[in-house]
Amino acid sequence: MRQEMSTFRSRLRRALLLLPVLGLALGAAGCETLESLNPFNEREKPLPGARAPVFPEGVPGVDYNQAPPQPANSAYNPYMNEPPAEGAASAAGPGAAPAQ
pLDDT digits (tens, 9 = 90+) for 9-53: 888 888 888 888 888 888 777 777 766 666 676 777 888 999 999
- Is residue 43 situated within a structural domain? no
87 occurs within a structural domain: no
Q: By the 8 A CB rule, do 67 and 76 touch?
A: no
Choose among 91, 73, 75, 71: nearest CA to 83: 91
Q: Would residue 88 count as lying in a domain?
A: no
Which residues fall within 8 angstroms of residue 31, CB to CB, at 6 or more apart?
37
How confident is the model at residue 1, as a pLDDT?
65
pLDDT, residue 49, reads 92
3-class secondary-structure state, position 36:
helix
Number of structural domains (the chain) is: 1
What residues make up the domain containing 20?
1-27
- Summarize pLDDT for 61-95 with one digit per residue, the tens: 888 888 877 777 777 666 766 666 666 555 555 55
6 located within any domain? yes
Q: Which residue has the higher pLDDT, 46 or 98?
A: 46
